[in-house]
Amino acid sequence: MIVDCAYYRDGKRQHDGSTELGAVTEMLVDDDEFVWLGLLEPDDAELADVQQRFGLHELAVEDARTPHMRPKLERYDEGEVLFAVFRTARYVDELEEIEFGEVSVFISSRFVITVRHGGGTGFGRARQRLEQRPDLLREGPAAALWAIVDTIVDDYGPVIEGLDRDVEEVEATVFSGAAAPTERIYALRREATEFYRAVHPLLTPLEVLERGTYLRRSKELRKFFRDVNDHLKIVNEEIATQRDVLAMILQANMAVISNQHNEINLRQNETMKVLTLVATIFLPLSFIAGFFGMNFKWMTDHIESLATFAAVGVGSFVVSTAVLLGWLKREGHIGR
């Protein structure tokens, strides 16, 4: 789907609203003219039409058709067309998750074509901001590429802030002595890693753009690319730090969980010890009770009075219990 198609000459947009693609391709005559075409998740027919009209390389078009590419910067057609891939990111507050997207950019001296997939903001505000600066827009497609990259990197800022809040939340939970949900920490770690993969590979392409190796730009525009590059380096340092912090939080959380398991095991061991002691004490008593419960002739003939019963029956209970308790105390099983 075509989001916007604009024709620029001498640093100014030559029409209101989007124009027909076929019309603008026929207007490109002078060196100070270029087309900025924005596509959102185009189908194969749309990409094939754009490829034919602008003479795009089939390998670059194939990369633009299939998202989930690594950020990169390549030249095609003997350097006439520059192809770049950028990863977009947007923090969704309601879900506390990062929504990733991808932008492929074709750029030459006559056109800028963006193919956007997935989440992330569009480039409408980038166009508007650049159109308010005719001095920059006269730089041509290079200025448009700066506006695109600057918007992508600016959108990384809220993502860093959202991750910071999530990391601080689980950090406070873990270091308060309570175990945080391990799945939550793993999810944050995975998001931080995915964000790092979107940011870190972009450092080299921005260095190349700042130096002007692949793209002609003025000294003034170089300052703008350098500013974006500085912002990206800060984001890269922040996300690297967050990954390290999450790794430490995960280790600390596992230690907290281990301590909790140890405490549970200790309580279980104490319970088993008490039950064992009780069973040990009642074992001889049960034997004596069972023995005297038998109707042997010797018992029925001799244990007739209360005194004899107390001496033989109850006395054996008391003596065996005292002997057993004394042995348990001497061995250190009780009394500590």
pLDDT in tens, 157-206: 999 999 999 988 888 888 776 666 778 888 898 999 999 999 999 999 89
For helices 219-292 and 315-330, give the axis angle rounded to 10 degrees: 150
Spatial distance between the Cα atoms of 277 and 310, rounded to a whole number of angstroms: 26
pTM beyond cutoff 0.85: no
Query: Structure tokens of 144?
Result: 């448009």
Q: What is the pLDDT of residue 291?
A: 66
Nearest by Cα to 36 from 152, 146, 144: 144
Residue 15: count of CB within 10 angstroms of its CB: 12
Residues 6+ apart with CB under 8 A from 289: 317
Distance CA 99, CA 62 (A): 23
Q: Tell me the range of 157-171, 247-261, 301-315 where mean pLDDT is highest.
A: 157-171
- Taking CA atoms, 8 is separated from 14, 236, 243, 299, 322, in Å, by 6, 34, 43, 120, 104
pLDDT per residue as tens digits for the range 194-251: 999 999 999 998 998 888 877 777 888 889 999 999 999 999 999 999 999 888 888 8
pLDDT at 96 over 90: no
Going by C-beta distance under 8 Å and a sequence separation of 6 or more, which residues neighbour residue 120? Answer: 88, 89, 90, 99, 100, 101, 103, 152, 155
